[in-house]
Amino acid sequence: MKKTKILIGSIIMAAALLVTSCGGSGSGSGSGSGAQGKSGGGKKEVFEIEDGVIYGLTDSGKKEKEIVIPAGCTEFVGAIIDGASFTTVSFESDDDIAIKLAFSGSETLENITLPKNLKSFNPMVFQNCTALKGITIPDGITELPIASFNGCTNLKTVTLSNSLTKIGSDCFADCSSLEGISFPSTLKSIGREAFDGCSSIKSIELPEGLTTLDDSVFSYCESLTTVKLPASLKEVGINMLYKSGVTDIYVPADMELTSYDSTSFLNPGSQVAIKVHIAQGSWADQNFDEVFPGAEKVYD
C-alpha cells in the first residue's frame, strides 16, 4: 500500500512539471498548455504552447512585464507582441531556439537576454523594436541578416558575437541612439546601408580581416567624424560616407583596394574637405586623386 501511494504521488508531481515546461501538448489556448509565471501573489499561465512551439501569449501573459521562455521550446510561430506589455525577456534554457519574428515590431521590449547557444537569426528579427536599449549577440551567431535591428531607435549598446563574419544590409539602419560599436576580428563583410542613419556614432575602427564594405554603409551618420580602415580591406561600394560628418580617414600603409568607386569616400555637401591620413609612397598615396577625390592628403 505504501509503494502505491508513493507511485501515485510521483505521477502527480510529474504531471505538474509538464504544465510548466514547453514539452507538453494542448489546444494552444493556454488552458493546460501554457508555462506559468508569477504575477503578484498567484501563478498565471503566460504562453500558448503546443508540442514545444510557442504560438503566442495568453490573456494573462499579455499583462506580464517580465516573461521567461520555458526550457524545451524549439520555436516561435508568428509574433507574440500583439497586446503585450512585456519589457524584459529571458530564456530558461541556453539551448538553441528559432526566434523567427516573435519580437519584431515590439514597442515595449527594452531588454532581452538571448540563449548562449543560439545559432541564427531570421531577417528583421528585432526590426522596429523601438524601446530596445541594448543587446548582446551570442557567440554562436556568425551572420546578422538583413534589417536585424533596423529602426531600433533607442538601441544604445551592442555587443557583437566573437564569431561574427557578416553584417547584413540595413542591419542597424536608423539606430539613431547607437553611440559606438566594436567589431570582432572574425568580421569579413558589412552589407549595404548597414549603419545608415546611425546619427549618434562618433567614430568607427574597422577590424583587420574585413575585406568588403558595400554601398552607403555609413551614410547619414551625421556625428561620425573618424574612420579607421584595415589593411585587409579590398572592396568598397559607392557613397560609403554620404551625408556623414566624417572629417578624418586613417589608411594603413599596406592597404590596396581592388574595387572602389569615385564616390566611395566622397561626402557631398560637406563644408570641410576630408583629411586622409596615409603613408608616403603607399598604394593610397600613389592612387590618391582617383580613390579620394577632393580630399586633403596628410602624411603620417
Per-residue pLDDT of the chain (300 residues; tens, 9 = 90+): 433 333 334 333 333 333 345 655 443 333 334 554 444 333 459 999 999 999 999 999 999 999 999 999 999 998 999 999 999 999 999 999 999 999 999 999 999 999 999 999 999 999 999 999 999 999 999 999 999 999 999 999 999 999 999 999 999 999 999 999 999 999 999 999 999 999 999 999 999 999 999 999 999 999 999 999 999 999 999 999 999 999 999 999 999 999 999 999 998 877 778 999 999 999 999 999 999 999 999 998
- The reply to whether 64 falls in a domain is yes
- The total number of structural domains in the chain stands at 1
Give buried/exposed letters for 139-153 (b at 16+ CB in 10 A, else e). bbbebbbbbbbbbbe
Counting beta carbons within 10 angstroms of the beta carbon of residue 70, is it exposed (0 to 12), middle (13 to 18) or buried (19 or more)? Answer: buried
Counts of helices then strands in the chain (DSSP H, E)? 3, 20
Residue range(s) defining the domain that contains residue 101 = 17-105
Is 230 a member of any domain?
A: no
- Residue 300: inside a domain, yes or no? no
What is the Cα–Cα distance from 158 to 140, expressed in whole angstroms? Answer: 16
User: Per the domain annotation, does 239 fall within a domain?
Assistant: no
Does a structural domain hold residue 4?
no
Q: Model-level pTM?
A: 0.87
Q: What is the pLDDT of residue 30?
A: 38
Residue with cell 506580464: 64
DSSP letter at 22? S
Report whether 96 contacts 138 (CB < 8 A). Answer: no
Instruction: Kindly state whether residue 80 falls inside one of the protein's structural domains.
Output: yes
Is residue 185 in some structural domain?
A: no
pLDDT the model gives residue 8:
36
Whether 32 maps to a domain, the answer reads yes
Euclidean distance between CA atoms 262 and 265, whole angstroms: 7
